[in-house]
C-alpha cells in the first residue's frame, strides 16, 4: 500500500476529568486510556490512506511484526514485517493507483472483512469502472497484525468481465491447453516475440520467439505434463498485466514437483513465461 496521508487520529482523544473535592487538596482524576482502534476503524483508516496516496500514514497502522498475504508483492510468500509490507503498499499507490470505495464490512471479534469496489490502473486501461474484492484485517493492540486479500467476486458482472477478458482467463486457457495436450492452442496464446524461461528446452538460455517456445511446449505435451494451480488469486488486478502462481507439476514419469510461474501479458497475448522450481524435483 502506498503513501498514506496524515496519520489518522485513533478514535477517542485522551480526556482528563477534574474531581472537585471539599478539602484543600483538589486532585485531578486519573486520565482515562485512549481507546484502541478496532478492526473496522483500522480498515477504514487504511483505505483512506491508500486513497490519499499516503504510504507513511498507511504503514503507521501496522504492527511491527504484521503479516500481509495476497498482494502483488506478497503473493508467492507472505510479507512479514513492516519493511516488507511497505513494498506492497507502495505498489498499490505508485503503480496501481488503487482506490477503495462503497465498502461493506463484517466484523467478528478483532477481525474485519470488507467487500469493496476497487479501481486501479488496470480497470482504467480496460475501460472497466471497477471490480469487487474482499480484504481481511486482524487487529491486536490497536494495530493491524494481519492483512489478507480475499477472492474477486466474479458473481458481479463487471468483475467477471474484467476477470474473463484479461490475465486470469488467458492464464486459465494456458493451463487448460497444456493439460489437454493441444500444442496449437497453447501457441496461439503467445505473442510472436514472446520469451519463455525455464523448462528443459529453455533453461540454459531463454527461448525467444514462437518457434523456439514451441519446442518446449511440444516436450511438455509429449511427457504428459499436467499443471495444477494452487493459488486462488491468479492475476494482478491492479495493473492487469501479469499473472503469478504456484503450480503442482506431474508427468507420465518421475515424481511430482512444484514451480512458480509468472506470465507477463501484452495486448491480449502472453509476452513472457518464467518457470522457477520451488522443489527439489
Domain that holds residue 225: 166-277
Please tell me the total count of domains within the chain.
2
Please say whether the beta carbons of 194 and 170 come within 8 A: no
Pairing of strands 111-119, 131-140: antiparallel
Is residue 239 located within the same domain as residue 189?
Answer: yes
Please say whether the beta carbons of 74 and 88 come within 8 A: yes
Q: What is the pLDDT of residue 197?
A: 96
Domain final residue, candidates 131, 161, 191: 161
Residue 63 placed within a domain: yes
Residue 172: Cβ-neighbour burial (10 angstroms; 0-12, 13-18, 19+): middle
Domain final residue, candidates 127, 161, 195: 161
Output the domain CATH number for residue 107. Answer: 3.10.450.50
Q: What is the pLDDT of residue 29?
A: 46
Show the low-confidence residues of the chain (pLDDT under 50): 1-34, 232, 234, 281
Is residue 183 located within the same domain as residue 271?
Answer: yes
Residue 252 placed within a domain: yes
* Distance separating alpha carbons of residues 50 and 46, to the nearest angstrom: 6
pTM of the shown model: 0.61
Is residue 67 located within the same domain as residue 105?
Answer: yes
Q: What is the pLDDT of residue 280?
A: 55
Q: What Rg do the C-alpha atoms of the chain give, in angstroms?
A: 24
Domain final residue, candidates 161, 196, 222: 161
Q: What is the pLDDT of residue 238?
A: 63
Is residue 156 located within the same domain as residue 227?
Answer: no
Please say whether the beta carbons of 250 and 239 come within 8 A: no
Residue 16 placed within a domain: no
* Distance separating alpha carbons of residues 216 and 202, to the nearest angstrom: 7
Q: What is the pLDDT of residue 175?
A: 94
Residue 6 placed within a domain: no
Is residue 77 located within the same domain as residue 151?
Answer: yes
Residue 140 DSSP class: E
Amino acid at each position: 500500500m502506498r503513501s498514506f496521508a496524515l496519520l489518522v487520529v485513533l478514535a477517542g482523544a485522551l480526556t482528563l476529568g477534574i474531581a472537585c473535592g471539599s478539602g484543600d487538596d483538589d486532585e485531578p482524576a486519573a486520565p482515562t486510556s485512549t481507546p484502541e482502534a478496532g478492526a473496522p476503524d483500522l480498515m477504514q483508516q487504511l483505505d483512506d490512506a491508500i486513497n490519499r496516496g499516503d504510504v507513511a500514514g498507511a504503514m503507521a497502522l501496522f504492527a511491527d511484526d504484521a503479516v500481509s498475504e495476497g498482494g502483488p508483492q506478497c503473493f508467492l510468500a507472505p510479507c512479514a514485517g513492516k519493511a516488507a509490507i511497505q513494498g506492497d503498499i507502495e505498489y498499490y499507490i505508485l503503480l496501481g493507483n488503487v482506490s477503495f470505495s462503497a465498502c461493506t464490512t463484517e466484523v467478528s471479534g478483532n477481525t474485519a472483512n470488507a467487500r469493496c469496489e476497487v479501481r486501479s490502473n488496470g480497470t482504467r486501461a480496460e475501460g472497466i469502472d471497477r471490480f469487487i474484492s474482499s480484504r481481511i484485517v486482524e487487529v491486536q493492540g490497536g494495530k493491524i497484525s494481519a492483512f489478507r486479500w480475499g477472492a474477486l467476486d466474479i458473481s458481479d458482472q463487471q468483475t467477471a468481465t474484467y476477470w474473463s477478458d484479461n490475465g486470469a482467463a488467458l492464464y486459465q486457457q494456458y493451463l487448460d491447453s497444456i493439460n489437454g495436450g493441444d500444442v496449437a492452442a497453447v501457441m496461439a496464446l503467445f505473442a510472436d516475440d514472446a520469451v519463455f524461461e525455464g523448462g528443459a528446452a529453455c533453461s540454459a538460455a531463454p527461448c525467444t520467439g514462437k518457434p523456439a517456445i514451441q519446442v518446449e511446449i511440444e516436450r511438455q505435451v509429449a511427457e504428459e505434463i499436467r499443471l495444477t494451480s494452487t493459488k486462488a488469486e491468479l492475476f494482478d488486478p491492479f495493473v492487469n498485466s501479469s499473472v503469478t502462481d504456484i503450480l503442482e507439476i506431474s508427468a507420465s514419469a518421475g515424481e511430482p514437483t512444484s514451480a512458480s510461474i509468472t506470465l507477463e501479458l501484452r495486448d491480449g497475448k502472453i509476452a513472457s513465461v518464467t518457470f522457477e522450481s520451488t522443489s527439489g524435483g
